[in-house]
Structure 1
Amino acid sequence: MSAATPTPRDAGLPTPRTVAESSSKPSQSSSDKPTILHLGDDIRWNHELYEELGRKFNIARSYSMGREEFKTALKERKWGDFVGMYRPFWNTGGEMGRWDRELITLLPPSCKIYASAGAGFDWVDTKTLAEHGVVYCNSASACTESVADTAIFLLLATYRAFTWSFLAARSCEPTQFADANQNIAAATHNPNHSVLGIIGLGKIGFRLAQKARAFEMKIWYHDVVRIEEREKELGDVRWCEDLEELLSGSDCVVLATPFEGKVLLSRKEFGLFKKGARLVNIARGKLVDEEALMEALDEGRISSAGLDVHANEPNVNSKLAKRDNVMVLSHTAGASVESHVGFERLGMENLISYLGGGEALTPVNLQWLKKRG
């Protein structure tokens, strides 16, 4: 969402404008300031903060470069000894592809932080970045509200068979309409008093739990550690130390956890689901074995699914997409004007704080990063 981003209707949001419309443009040539490498499109929202960034740093631009061109530029030190990288949008500035060891080893030793838009970071080798002294900061907190709202939408769709109803109405065929109208009631349920099992009680999972309380759902969660502070805020909530416990007891399972290089739900795990349970994925598509999900849907082990993300994006599994008990979206859970305003702002705040001697605000790889000297 860059040049096509709509103007917000909420007067409380910043007004979008181009760099040329800003009152002043950050210096691009000052040699007495450290350099930040800005990847991708111009910012659109937080121009005053961008001007502050420009007063503190020399801002160099790569705009949109293919992988080979970007590698050559790094080898030739086109941007000198830059100290940080800033990528304010998830759909530009990533043309160089996966951030793996091949790219990371070309970074100058001076680079200490990479602040990027979006919640997911499966496209970047954060451990190798840490080994090279670079802290990686995502922007998950900026899209928390949007993603949690989408999870609620998908959750309701799975309980109430909204996909079936929508497709029948959209067909404009009276027989399909009548079939849905007359038969959906026997196959749908209200979510209240059922168990919502959340895998990953991070910011998004926690916000989802708060919203689900409005539907009188019982909250269970599984995470690598127990998060008692959030349990207290939520009230009556159950921590499942083992994934198996959560899967076997939940009426709807929501994936809200990062992808760490391996499938989380496959045949074994789907076999543990309560008969007729539901699945919602607003995390990463590669967490789910889609063939195993198809089998579970065919067997009725899973009664319905809501998928914002897919294993082979931008390709969607056609077998899943054609089912009337599966709602599919185009990885847009976090896509809102408010999210993008937050992505821009949070990335700059990370840079200003960390490079100013403070703490990174949203780091994800500190466990591998050596202490700052």
Structure 2
Amino acid sequence: MPKPIVLHLGDDIRWNHELYAKFQDAFEIRRSYSMNREEFKRALKERTFGDFFAIYRPFWNTGGEMGNWDEELISLLPASCRVYASAGAGFDWVDTAALAKRGVTYCNAAAACTESVADAAIWLIISTFRLFSWSHVAARSVDAEQFVDANRNLAMVSHNPNGHTLGIIGFGQIGRRTAEKAYLAMNMKIHYHDIVRMPSELESVSKATYHKEMDSLLAVSDCVMVATPFSGETLLNKGLLAKMKDGARLINIARGKLLDEGALVEALESGKLAAAGLDVHFDEPRVSPKLASMRNVEMMAHNAGASVDSHIGFERLGMENILSFERTGKAVTPVNAHLVAKANGSKL
């Protein structure tokens, strides 16, 4: 029998060559490389790639030139397509519900970048308590006045995270790993909010306290971290920011559109919030000039998960998802398996 076809989007793999050799033994690999949207649509319509079983995107920086995976693209997939495995943790660029209706399981690679994102989250937490960004900019300015200003005045508005309460919105792998690091390394008190409560064994490592309602989490947290997927709507708006403790800090390592940046600016300018740490931004790659000008705001260019270790894991996990699905009918890290089951009229 002919081998199932896998459509490989983007660049060649770089690290997991032995696994890719096994992947090639199991599947016929066809490549799209870096087609733009119109080229890719035409290729799908003309069945250029054949009746492929799976889509594999090993890198975040390539293979996405066709733009968002919306109904327009998804409707052009062959009926044979059953699984889509991609690099990256976020999946706001792909309509996972539309994929599910066509029986396609979408798999992300959050597990591969968990450690890197959690490390970055800890750095942002520490920096928002200690206002390291102020000190960093002052030193790099090579300006004696700025240096003296930070040297003399930073201590009066700087605090240790130790003993403070970290409230995490979204207690998935990244949220839990950040909680473990914050609890074990900095003795922070861990509270979290999620759609469902996690099993006790997942809470026990960081002695995490569950909040069914977000309001109660915001009310007790000295620092709030957003670590939940973007579902299409702003999560923290002006009303919810107002429910945070006075002088609290806010960290966002999830998606920029989860946070109302205008409301954040107001909260920081009024003193309602003491500081913010942002890896992600509402209108990437454009950053809010107002937030960028504030010395109590730490910023990154969406690099929290960016490490060689993460990319090696992205590459490997995508192949493992497709291999597992072909052998067992189940993926390793499915995002929308429940929606596929619902579309098929079955239960997981």
The amino acid of 2:213's aligned partner reads D
Query: Which residue in 1 is equivalent to 2:272?
Result: 301
1:289 lines up with 2:267 in the alignment? no
TM-score, with structure 2 as normaliser: 0.97
1:108 lines up with 2:88 in the alignment? no
Q: How does 1:121-200 map to 2 (within 5 A)?
A: 121-200=91-170
Q: 1:98-135: per-residue Cα shift (whole Å, max 9, x none)?
A: 00000000000000000000000000000000000100
Query: Which residue in 2 is equivalent to 1:369?
Result: 340
1:83 lines up with 2:53 in the alignment? yes
- Tell me how far 1:232 sits from its aligned partner: 4.3
Q: 1:345-369: per-residue Cα shift (whole Å, max 9, x none)?
A: 0000000010123421000001210
- 8 Å CA contact 1:206–1:230 kept in 2: the answer is no
- Tell me how far 1:283 sits from its aligned partner: 0.4
- Which deviates further from its counterpart, 358-367 or 55-64? 358-367
* C-alpha separation in 2, matches of 1:232 and 1:247: 19
Pick one of 291, 302, 320 that aligns with 1:349.
320
Query: Which residue in 1 is equivalent to 2:197?
Result: 226
Query: Which residue in 1 is equivalent to 2:177?
Result: 207
Partner SS, residue 239 of structure 1: strand
1:36 lines up with 2:6 in the alignment? yes
- 8 Å CA contact 2:162–2:187 kept in 1: the answer is yes
Q: 1:190-234: per-residue Cα shift (whole Å, max 9, x none)?
A: 001100001111000000011001101000000001113345432
Partner SS, residue 309 of structure 1: coil
- 8 Å CA contact 1:135–1:369 kept in 2: the answer is yes
The amino acid of 2:316's aligned partner reads R
The amino acid of 2:89's aligned partner reads A
Partner SS, residue 340 of structure 2: coil
- Tell me how far 1:237 sits from its aligned partner: 2.0
Partner SS, residue 180 of structure 1: helix
The amino acid of 2:198's aligned partner reads I
* C-alpha separation in 2, matches of 1:286 and 1:134: 26
- Tell me how far 1:33 sits from its aligned partner: 1.1
- Tell me how far 1:172 sits from its aligned partner: 1.0
Count of equivalent residues: 343
Query: Which residue in 1 is equivalent to 2:67?
Result: 97
* C-alpha separation in 2, matches of 1:144 and 1:171: 33
Q: Which runs of 5+ in 2 are unaligned?
A: none
- Tell me how far 1:50 sits from its aligned partner: 0.6
- Which deviates further from its counterpart, 52-61 or 357-366? 357-366
1:216 lines up with 2:187 in the alignment? yes
- 8 Å CA contact 1:308–1:333 kept in 2: the answer is yes
- Structure having the higher helix fraction is 2
The amino acid of 2:93's aligned partner reads W
* C-alpha separation in 2, matches of 1:266 and 1:92: 33
* C-alpha separation in 1, matches of 2:227 and 2:201: 15
- 8 Å CA contact 2:134–2:150 kept in 1: the answer is yes
Query: Which residue in 1 is equivalent to 2:234?
Result: 263
Q: Which runs of 5+ in 1 are unaligned?
A: 1-30
Q: How does 1:319-330 map to 2 (within 5 A)?
A: 319-330=290-301
* C-alpha separation in 1, matches of 2:96 and 2:220: 34
- Tell me how far 1:141 sits from its aligned partner: 0.3
- Tell me how far 1:175 sits from its aligned partner: 0.9
RMSD between aligned residues = 1.2
* C-alpha separation in 1, matches of 2:196 and 2:208: 15
1:64 lines up with 2:34 in the alignment? yes
- 8 Å CA contact 2:222–2:248 kept in 1: the answer is yes
Q: How does 1:20-31 map to 2 (within 5 A)?
A: none
* C-alpha separation in 1, matches of 2:307 and 2:202: 28
- Which deviates further from its counterpart, 235-244 or 74-83? 235-244
Q: How does 1:47-58 map to 2 (within 5 A)?
A: 47-58=17-28
- Which deviates further from its counterpart, 309-318 or 351-360? 351-360
- Tell me how far 1:238 sits from its aligned partner: 1.0
Runs ≥4 residues deviating over 6 A: none
- 8 Å CA contact 1:127–1:365 kept in 2: the answer is yes
* C-alpha separation in 2, matches of 1:49 and 1:363: 20
